[in-house]
Amino acid sequence: MSKLFYQTKSPRPMLDRADGIYMWDTSGKRYIDGSSGAMVSNIGHGNPAVLSAMQAQMAQSTFGYRLHFQTEPSEALAEKITSLTPEGLDRVFFVSGGSEAVESALKFARQYALTQGEAQRFKVISRYPSYHGATLGALAITGYAPMTAPFDPMMQAMPKIPAPRAYLDGLDIDDPATGRHYADMLEAKILEEGPDTILAFIVEPIGGASTGALVPPAGYMQRIREICDQYGVLLMHDEVMTGGGRTGRFFGAEHWDVTPDIIALSKGFGAGYVPLGAMIARTDMVEAVLGAGGFIHGYTYAGNPLACAAGLAVLNEIEANGLTQNAAQMGDALHARLQSLMQRYPLIGDVRGKGLLLAFELMADRGTKEPLPAEFNAHSRLVDIAYENGLIIYSRRTRGGISGDHFLVCPPMIVTEAQLDEIAEILDRSMQQLMSELPAGCVA
Ligand code: PMP
C-alpha cells in the first residue's frame, strides 16, 4: 500500500511516461492529457528544448541561495517575463507555485500600504466562487466552502462578492450593462466594509477550476479597475491558471486591456517541468517597499536556477512555436466541437471559456438552469468514464452561486486538429455512457 495520502477516490495507475499530449501508465494504457494535468502542462510533455536547457543548467548548478548569489537564469527569466507584462509591472519575485505567488501578493500589498501610511487597510475582497490557493492566507480569500470551512477559525475572515454569473441569471454577457451590474457589487462591498479598510481586490480574469472557465461579461474587468482606482484599492490579477498563453493571450487580462497592480503567475509558467511561480508588481510599489527596508518575505527555493532555466526555456518555446496563437486557434476549434456536443446532448447546458481554457457544464434543465441532483455525482462519474476511455479531463461541482457539474477541457497548447477530433470522439462516447447510466427523465 502506498504511504502517500493524497486525496483520491481510489488508487491511481502508476505513470510510466509522457510525451506531447499523451501519457502512459505502467500497464501500457495511453491517456490524452485533456486537462494538461491541472491546467499546467501547457507546452506538452517531454519538450526536448526544455529538457536540454534543464540538463545544461544542471551541469552548472542546481541551487544558489538567492541571498548568497545572483543567478543568470533567474535574471534572464525576470527580463523575459517583464518583456511580456503590461508597462509599469516590471519587478518580479519568484516563488515555487500558485499559492506562494498569491500569498506573496497579499503580503507585498500589505507592506506597500504601510509605506503609504495606510495601516488600516488589510481586507482583501475576493469572489465566490474562486480559488486562490491552499495556504491559509490564500485560502482566506478563496471562495469555495468545501475547501475553506474546516479552517475558518484559523483564518482572518475576508469579504467576498459573487462572481458574475450572467449565463445563470439570464443576462447578456456581451452587454456592458451586465458587466457594470456585477462590477458594482464590488463598489457596494467596499462601501459596506469601509473604503479605507480595503487593501485589495483579487480576481481570476477567467475563472479556473472554481467556476469552470467563466468569462467575465463585457466591461466588467474595466469597471473593476475604475472602482479600485476610485477607492485606492489595489487590483490583483490571479493569473496562475490564465497566464502563460492558454487563453490565446499571454495574460488572460489582455483580452480586456486592463492593467492590474500585482499579478500572480504559476502553472503554465513552469509548465509541469519544475515547480515555479512569480509575483509581479508595479515598479513604484516595489521601490516604496524596498525604500522602507525591503519585503519581509521569501521562500528557500525561490528563484532557483534550475527552475528558472526551465521557465525561460518554456517561455522561449511558447514564443518560437507560436503556441499562444495556436491556443487561440485550437481553442476556437475545440469550442466548436464542444458546441456540437451540446447540440447532441441536452444535458450540456453551457459551453464557455477562451482559447484552450474551455469548459462545459451539465444541467438537468437548460431552460431553468437547474443542476443535476448532487447524488448523481455526474462531475466525478463523467471524469471516471472518460479516464477509462483514455481521456483525462478536470471537473468540479460548485455549490453556492454557480451551480452544476462543470468539466474543463484544456489540452496542451501544442494540440492539433486531429487530436481535437480524438478528444471530441472520446467525449462523445463518454457522454453516451453517462446518459445510459442516468435515471430516465432526469434531463428536461
Ligand atoms: N490560483 C489559481 C487561479 C489556481 O488555479 C491555483 C491552482 N489551481 C492556485 C492559485 C494555487 O496554485 P498551487 O496549487 O500551485 O499552489
Contact (CB, 8 A) for 31 and 23 = yes
Whether ligand 1 lies within 6 angstroms of the CB of 241 is answered as yes
User: Best substitution site from 131, 141, 247, 408 to test ligand 1's pocket, by max atoms within 8 Å of Cβ?
Assistant: 131
- The pLDDT of residue 2 is 85
Q: Mean pLDDT over residues 352-380, rounded?
A: 91
Ligand 1 centroid to Cα of residue 421, in Å, is: 29
Band of residue 7 on the pLDDT scale cut at 50, 70, 90: confident
pLDDT higher than 90, residue 106: yes
pLDDT higher than 90, residue 6: no
User: Best substitution site from 6, 130, 266, 394 to test ligand 1's pocket, by max atoms within 8 Å of Cβ?
Assistant: 266
Residue 112 cell numbers, joined:
506597500
pLDDT tens for residues 52-65? Answer: 999 999 999 999 99
- The pLDDT of residue 438 is 87
pLDDT higher than 80, residue 443: no
Q: Whose CA is nearest to atom 1 of ligand 1?
A: 132
User: Which domains can be identified in the chain, with CATH numbers?
Assistant: 15-46+322-437 (3.90.1150.10), 50-320 (3.40.640.10)
Band of residue 402 on the pLDDT scale cut at 50, 70, 90: low
- The pLDDT of residue 391 is 98
- The pLDDT of residue 403 is 61
Whether ligand 1 lies within 6 angstroms of the CB of 266 is answered as yes
ipTM: 0.99
